[in-house]
Amino acid sequence: QPELVDVAIIGAGAAGLMCAAEAAKKGLTVVLLDHAKQAGKKILISGGGRCNFTNYYVEPNAYLSANPHFCKSALSRYTQWDFIALVDKHQIPYHEKTLGQLFCDDSAKDIVNMLLSECQQAGAEIRLRTAIEQVDFANERYQLTTSTGVLSASKLVIATGGLSMPKLGATSFGFDIARQFGLQVLPTRAGLVPFTLQPADKACFESISGVSAPTVIESLAGVSFKENLLFTHRGLSGPAVLQISSYWQEGEAILINLLPDHNDEQWLLNERHKNGERTIKTVLSEVLAKRVAEQWLGHQQVDNKPLKQFDDKQLLALAQRLARWPIKPSGTEGYRTAEVTLGGVDTNELSSKTMESKKQPGLYFIGEVVDVTGWLGGYNFQWAWSSGWACAQAL
């Protein structure tokens, strides 16, 4: 005889843990299953081990989705302030790092322990090291054949996340279940991921790997982020690059403004007027890290000569190039290092209020498995909390 429960949730990550605790608080019998040996592994490694758990400035336009309106309902019903109140209730110390990003003072473990304690207090049971072998639907119930027994649930919630970081246990399980029940899954790709460079560009910049620079990076579609860029031995990373990667399509160039605070196109002409004996490298080294200036000039095949030997047109062109430097990545580092997966279960298939499938009653999708992807900065966890909470209210 299968074990009977009200709710089975697959995936004990951010969204699954939130949903399990909230559903159990309503008095439902809840079992949360995961194949991993530990719950919330991604939370533990997130934010460099300090978990950037939300952001003061959460708003719908910080999310990418084929339907930009879909995320609004859940985000407005369970907000960053609700999650912050939970963190406060558990007396977890935190701070704002930059741009509204909230991090634990001590460790991401605080967030996982908080969620585990919420689950435990509410009576949600967590079963780890449990592989899901088969899911069937009959007589309005979901039968789950697992490595630890057979479960029969009247509601099934899929919270298995995206494809990023397969080493941490990411699988396509959620997309497979969606397809099994006839739901559309939009194409997926790696997001918040470093770029790799074409061989010639890589050869030029790998000598400055580890150097970072403040930039504004813009996608061809005109989306831009003002944050740091980091040169790496494989290509480009840093927050500005991770952010723009989610808006980048294979084969496109990105535009890098290496001097976001020099708006005046005439500035090199003015420098020449001040003192034309200085070389271009000397002048650029005053506004850029010296090694960046050096490598960049080499990359652009600009001879290092005194400013007075450049004419107006050349100096204007150089200033424009520094402000809009187009570079075409060869690709991204892919799911291996991506923080998130773009695309996923088509939001047209789901209710934005409850996360329930419109076609398949009793089947819900929450968190990253859904085609809602946030910016870097705590937005992805907030989506996990909000969608998990919204789903739980409807169970």
Nearest 5 degrees, angle CA 337-CA 255-CA 250? Answer: 50
Shortest distance (Å) from residue 136 CB to ligand FAD: 16
Is residue 165 a contact point for ligand FAD (CB under 6 A)?
yes
The verdict on 191 binding ligand FAD (CB under 6 A) reads no
In the complex with ligand FAD, the residue whose CB is nearer, 294 or 333, is 333
Query: How many angstroms separate the Cα of 204 from the Cα of each of 159, 252, 292, 332?
Result: 43, 20, 10, 18
Question: Per-residue contact track with ligand FAD, 98 to 137, x per CB under 6 A?
Answer: ----------------------------------x-----
The reply on whether position 381 binds ligand FAD by CB under 6 A is yes
Q: Closer to ligand FAD at the Cβ: 96 or 252?
A: 96
280 binds ligand FAD (CB under 6 A): no
Rounded to whole angstroms, the Cα distance separating 235 from 205 reads 8
What type of residue is 2? P
Q: Of 161 and 238, which has the nearer Cβ to ligand FAD?
A: 161
Task: Tell me the window of 64-72, 170-178, 230-238, 275-283 that interacts with ligand FAD (CB under 6 A).
Answer: 170-178
Query: 249: which 2 tokens?
Result: 């399509």
**Residue 47 touching ligand FAD (CB under 6 A):** yes
Q: Considering the rule CB under 6 A, would residue 42 count as an interface residue with ligand FAD?
A: yes
DSSP letters for 340-351:
EEEEEE-GGGB-
Q: Is 159 in the site for ligand FAD (CB under 6 A)?
A: yes
Residue 344 interacting with ligand FAD (CB under 6 A): no
Q: Which stretch binds ligand FAD (CB under 6 A): 5-13, 243-251, 272-280, 288-296?
A: 5-13
Q: Binder to ligand FAD among 7, 16, 32, 64 (CB under 6 A)?
A: 16
Using CB under 6 A as the binding rule, whether residue 164 contacts ligand FAD is answered as yes
Query: With binding defined as CB under 6 A, does residue 257 bind ligand FAD?
Result: no
* Residue 237 in contact with ligand FAD, rule: CB under 6 A: no
In what helix (H) or strand (E) does residue 153 lie, and over which residues does it extend? strand 149-158
Question: What does the angle CA 10 – CA 83 – CA 79 come to, to the nearest 5 degrees?
Answer: 95
| Binding residues among 18-37 for ligand FAD as defined by CB under 6 A | 34-36
Distance of alpha carbon 375 from alpha carbon 10, whole angstroms = 25
Shortest separation between residue 11's beta carbon and ligand FAD, angstroms:
3
Strand pairing report for 340-345 and 185-191: antiparallel
**C-alpha distances in Å from residue 388, one per residue of 108, 308, 391:** 19, 63, 5
From its phi and psi, is residue 95 left (phi > 0), alpha (psi between -120 and 50) or beta? beta
Residue 13 or 329 with smaller CB distance to ligand FAD: 13
Q: How deeply is 222 buried, as exposed, middle or buried, from its count of CB atoms within 10 A (0-12, 13-18, 19+)?
A: exposed
Token pair 């997001």 is found at 191
The residue to which tokens 């194409």 are assigned: 187
Our finding on whether 239 is near ligand FAD (CB under 6 A) is: no
For residue 318, state whether it binds ligand FAD (rule: CB under 6 A). no
Question: Using alpha carbons only, how large is the chain's radius of gyration in Å?
Answer: 24
Which range in 59-67, 166-174, 229-237, 281-289 contacts ligand FAD by CB under 6 A?
166-174
Distance in Å, CB of 218 to ligand FAD, minimum:
23
Binding ligand FAD (rule: CB under 6 A), the pick from 218, 271, 356, 368 is 368
With 0-12 / 13-18 / 19 or more C-beta atoms within 10 angstroms meaning exposed / middle / buried, residue 150 is middle
Q: How far is the CB of 144 from ligand FAD (least distance, A)?
A: 10
DSSP-assigned letters across all residues of 194-227: PEEE-HHHHHHHGGGTT-EEEEEEE-TTS-EEEE
Is 378 a binder of ligand FAD (CB under 6 A)? yes
Structure-token match 């944050």, residue found: 227
Toward ligand FAD, which CB reaches closer, 329 or 374?
374
- Among 7, 9, 14, 163, indicate the residue that binds ligand FAD (CB under 6 A): 14
* Residues in contact with ligand FAD by the rule CB under 6 A: 10-16, 34-36, 41-42, 45-47, 51-52, 132, 159-161, 164-165, 169-171, 173, 339-340, 367-369, 378-381, 384
